[in-house]
Amino acid sequence: MIRGAAALAGVAASLILAVGSVPVVARTAPPERAPMVALAPDGTGDFGPQTAGTRTAGWQEALDYCVAHKRDLYVSGGFGGWQVFNISDTIRMPASEDFRIDGGIYVLNWTGSADKDLMVVDSAMNCEFHFGVMVYGGTGAALRIRPVKPVPIDNFPVIVETKMDLWGIADPSPFTHGERRAGEGLVLDGTKSGIVHSDIRVQSVINFHTCIRTVGNVGYNHIICPHLHTNADHGTLFAGDERLVGNTIDFTIGVDQGAEGVTGLLLSGRHNVVQLAQRGCDKPIPPGRSLILNAQAEGNRIDLVCPEVADPSGLVTDNAIDPTNQISWTGAPIAIRRVNAPAGRFSYVQRLWPATVSIDSGRIKSLTLVRGKDRVTLNPKSANGVLLSVGDALVMESASPLRLVVVPLKVK
């Protein structure tokens, strides 16, 4: 042990001598710089309305500077809602990667031409954007998310793995009743490149011809709006086209000041999970227009939250060609239904929710359960309480008219 210790001491001494013979290189501290660029509406930031020649209250110039100098952006807000940027030309967010916009609560107020968008966001990868309130009365969009140009590092166009938070989008007269014939709040436009695997949240959207719309490849995102509402007659709160796929969507919808002819959700996509809460469910959205499943809608799962309505099935219109959209709801089970079937061959397809089906009256000759390509022949004499999942069909041959009793099942 003593010899081992002496040997270690000798090695240590040799190392000290060796290190001492190497010249020491002095390290210099990195140049100091502010962690982010400051943008303020009151002239206290690096950019703002005081920026020479600006038409965007300093926004475009601040974004361009961030790109050139690889910096994040901080936007000043303030108590009481007095922090207002008056914007007269479209703010164009460049294709970004690893870029963050943070800040307080402020207002972007559109004062430009009616046919232009307030803000357009290009591609973004691994970005985090926090925006304030957008006030827009034009015929375009307050916020259009549309990836076209490639991100700077990975070099392809996309919105991916990005988080966007907005405090609100409103028209300039949010408490004035009347029809808005044009204009959109938030548009997710994946026609050129996809908007995928991202979180997009806006606290409130109010009073547009269409409050939120998706078009093109919009898939596998979380899309959240806790207060999606309007007092605009004949407006639509949300419209999603057939390429809206695999998203998790969480909306609470409502109508203010007795607006007439409002449509809640127009859904054409596939395999989305939707939680749809509605305040004031008994009025004034017309029956069957809180949720309209268009012809292309397929395999969507919708959970309805509506305490004021005993039978939430009256909120839905099902125009889907494929009968695989499924609805669940809070509250009690919905009413038992009776279906009259003519004599001869008749096919009953279970839509929207599972149910048990019994034959209450009539003379049945044959009965077949059909699920996709599978077919099972059932005994007509024991055809009571046949359990059908969404999309299942019962094919009947009868010598007389039949009456079916359909008992919907509450599964969630």
Q: How far from each other are the two terminal CA atoms of the chain, in whole angstroms?
A: 72
Query: C-alpha 254: how far from its chain's center?
Result: 17
Contact 256, 284 (CB under 8 A): no
CATH class given for the domain over 337-408: mainly beta
Where helices occur in 164-226 by DSSP H, the ranges are: none
Quick one: pLDDT band at residue 18, thresholds 50, 70, 90? very low
Q: Tell me, what's the pLDDT at 79?
A: 83
Strand, coil or helix: what is 368? strand
Tokens of 277: 């809460």
Average pLDDT of the chain is 91
Tokens of 120: 């357009």
Quick one: pLDDT band at residue 168, thresholds 50, 70, 90? very high
Domains of the chain, residue spans: 77-329, 337-408
Q: Tell me, what's the pLDDT at 151?
A: 98
pLDDT at position 4 over 70: no
Residue 169: closest CA among 79, 217, 237: 237
Q: Tell me, what's the pLDDT at 82?
A: 83
Please state, in angstroms and rounded to a whole number, the distance separating the CA atoms of residues 75 and 166. 13
pLDDT at position 8 over 80: no
Note the pLDDT tens digit of each residue in 189-208. Answer: 999 999 999 999 999 999 99
Note the pLDDT tens digit of each residue in 57-85. Answer: 999 999 999 999 999 999 999 887 789 99
pLDDT at position 296 over 90: yes
Give 91's contacts (C-beta < 8 A, 6+ positions apart).
56, 59, 60, 63, 108, 118, 119, 120
Quick one: pLDDT band at residue 17, thresholds 50, 70, 90? very low
Quick one: pLDDT band at residue 47, thresholds 50, 70, 90? very high
Quick one: pLDDT band at residue 348, thresholds 50, 70, 90? very high
Q: Tell me, what's the pLDDT at 33?
A: 60
Contact 274, 302 (CB under 8 A): yes
Please state, in angstroms and rounded to a whole number, the distance separating the CA atoms of residues 57 and 85. 6
Residue 36: closest CA among 96, 83, 93, 103: 103
Q: Tell me, what's the pLDDT at 380?
A: 86
Give 225's contacts (C-beta < 8 A, 6+ positions apart).
201, 202, 203, 204, 205, 212, 250, 251, 252
Note the pLDDT tens digit of each residue in 116-135. Answer: 999 999 999 999 999 999 99
Quick one: pLDDT band at residue 307, thresholds 50, 70, 90? confident
User: Residue 86: phi, psi to the nearest 5?
Assistant: -90, 120
In the DSSP assignment, the letter for residue 380 is G
Q: Are strands 244-245 and 84-87 parallel, antiparallel or unpaired?
A: unpaired
From the CB of residue 361, how many other CB atoms can be counted at a distance below 10 Å? 12
Q: Tell me, what's the pLDDT at 32?
A: 55
41-46 long-range contacts, CB within 8 A, separation 24+ = 41/76, 41/83, 41/84, 41/85, 41/106, 42/76, 42/83, 44/76, 45/76
Give 175's contacts (C-beta < 8 A, 6+ positions apart).
231, 256, 257
